[in-house]
């Protein structure tokens, strides 16, 4: 009887415990707390997109100084590396041979003029004689021919004298353009001639310079659209940067893009004209040009951290009314300072999740707080 009573007591305890367990299972689970996230509100902003491209500086004009007459260089008349004005004398070639040639040409001219005067006088004397048939017509025609030949000799002698004076002028080699002259490539005492392969010096105009850069041909359509815009003058302004990224105190404008594509690289040439009043940019220097790519008046930018990719497709979590979230697929544009430009999928004024989206699902309730970039949060 005792064992039976003890068994009934244990059975009652077990049934009571089972009943209590059943009550716990039937109780509804508590909802999870809202997920803490940081959010930001989309505000349209004006965006100017640029691209830094390597370029090389070239002079606007380059003149190679070459002699137009041959001779011995007597003097160099300029300081190497100086600014040269157009028409300024640079070299003096020995003028003595050209002076002698000019004097000989002048004497030949006088001789020809004397012969012409004699032939004209002879013709005037024979005119009345041929009229009275005192001389033959042949004799008169010969006198007229000698007069005309003497006149041609005078014209030739005058041209020869002009050429000799021109050679004497060319003995002084002048600068054809304004610019900065490089070092002299010939010295005093050198024999020069117009057929020399090496110039005497070079002048480069550097108050303005070209910066030639290359960009992919695929971006040429966007650049042409920018050049054709009403604000083309402002939008085509190009900043010139040093190798460390700091800008020069100059600005340039795009002149044109090349008409041929490099078959090996797929790039086209882009030429930029830059004012260079302080001569900071020298021909041959490598620089970087900040070239405009596109301009957007009302662009929507989202932080790079806010974009998640599911199956390779970008999406953004949008916080709706009641702090519920929804995944929205988006089309991304350019990446601008760690922010994506949204082409489609979002609208201005929407709140998007920046941080904490790893544990989100559609319809989940979140506890949002305003997102601050790292640079602002550190202040």
pLDDT tens digit string along 217-231? 766 666 666 666 555
End position of a domain, from candidates 294, 326, 342: 294
Res. 202 pLDDT band, cuts 50 70 90: very high
CATH number of the CATH domain containing 336: 2.40.420.20
Q: 99 and 162: one domain?
A: yes
Q: What distance in Å separates the CA atoms of residue 45 and residue 297, rounded to the nearest whole number?
A: 7
163 lies in a domain?
A: yes
Q: 264 and 318: one domain?
A: no
CATH number of the CATH domain containing 270: 2.40.30.170
Whole-number pLDDT of residue 378:
44
Res. 1 pLDDT band, cuts 50 70 90: very low
Mean pLDDT across the chain? 85
End position of a domain, from candidates 192, 220, 247: 192
118 lies in a domain?
A: yes
DSSP state of 333: E
199 lies in a domain?
A: no
How many structural domains comprise the chain?
A: 3
Q: 188 and 289: one domain?
A: no
Crossing angle of helices 137-170 and 96-131, in 10° steps, is 160
Whole-number pLDDT of residue 61:
94
Residue 97's domain spans which residues?
63-192
156 lies in a domain?
A: yes
- What's the pTM value of the predicted model, to 2 decimals? 0.66
- At residue 82, φ and ψ (nearest 5 deg) are -85, 165
Question: How do strand 45-65 and strand 286-299 relate by DSSP bridges?
Answer: antiparallel
Q: 156 and 212: one domain?
A: no
271 lies in a domain?
A: yes
Whole-number pLDDT of residue 269:
82
Q: Per mean pLDDT, which of 104-118, 270-284, 329-343 is the most reliable?
A: 104-118
Q: 178 and 215: one domain?
A: no
Percent of the chain clearing pLDDT 90 (strictly above): 54
* For range 237-245, the mean pLDDT: 88
* 255 or 315, greater pLDDT: 315
Q: Does residue 266 have a pLDDT over 80?
A: no
CATH number of the CATH domain containing 73: 2.40.50.100
Q: What distance in Å separates the CA atoms of residue 112 and residue 106, rounded to the nearest whole number?
A: 10
Q: Does residue 27 have a pLDDT over 80?
A: no
Q: 322 and 230: one domain?
A: no
**Where are any strands of DSSP class E within 311-379?**
313-319, 325-329, 331-335, 339-344, 351-355, 366-370
Q: 171 and 120: one domain?
A: yes
């Amino acid at each position: 009887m005792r064992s039976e009573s003890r068994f009934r007591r244990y059975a009652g305890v077990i049934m009571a415990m089972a009943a209590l367990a059943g009550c716990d299972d039937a109780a509804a689970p508590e909802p999870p707390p809202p997920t803490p996230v940081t959010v930001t509100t989309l505000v349209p902003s004006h965006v100017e997109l640029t691209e830094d491209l390597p370029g090389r500086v070239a002079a606007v004009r380059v003149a190679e100084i070459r002699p137009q007459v041959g001779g011995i260089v007597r003097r160099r008349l300029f300081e190497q590396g100086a600014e040269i004005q157009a028409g300024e004398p640079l070299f003096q070639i020995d003028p003595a041979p050209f002076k002698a040639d000019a004097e000989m040409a002048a004497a030949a001219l006088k001789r020809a003029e004397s012969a012409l005067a004699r032939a004209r006088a002879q013709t005037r004397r024979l005119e009345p004689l041929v009229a009275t048939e005192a001389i033959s017509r042949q004799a008169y025609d010969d006198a007229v021919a000698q007069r005309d030949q003497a006149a041609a000799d005078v014209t030739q002698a005058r041209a020869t004298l002009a050429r000799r004076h021109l050679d004497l002028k060319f003995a002084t080699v002048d600068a054809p353009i304004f610019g900065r002259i490089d070092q002299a490539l010939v010295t005093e005492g050198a024999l020069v001639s117009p057929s020399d392969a090496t110039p005497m010096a070079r002048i480069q105009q550097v108050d303005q310079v070209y910066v030639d850069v290359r960009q992919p041909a695929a971006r040429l359509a966007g650049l042409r659209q920018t050049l054709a815009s009403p604000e083309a003058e402002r939008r085509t302004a190009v900043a010139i940067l040093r190798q460390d990224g700091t800008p020069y105190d100059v600005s340039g404008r795009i002149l044109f893009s090349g008409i041929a594509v490099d078959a090996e690289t797929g790039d086209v040439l882009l030429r930029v004209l830059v004012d260079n009043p302080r001569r900071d940019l020298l021909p041959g220097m490598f620089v970087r040009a900040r070239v405009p790519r596109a301009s957007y008046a009302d662009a929507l930018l989202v932080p790079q951290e806010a974009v998640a990719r599911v199956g390779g497709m970008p999406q953004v979590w949008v916080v709706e009314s009641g702090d519920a979230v929804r995944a929205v697929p988006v089309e991304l544009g350019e990446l601008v300072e760690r922010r994506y430009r949204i082409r489609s999928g979002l609208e201005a004024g929407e709140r998007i999740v920046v941080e904490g989206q790893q544990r989100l699902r559609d319809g989940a309730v979140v506890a949002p707080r305003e997102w601050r970039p790292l640079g602002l949060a550190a202040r």
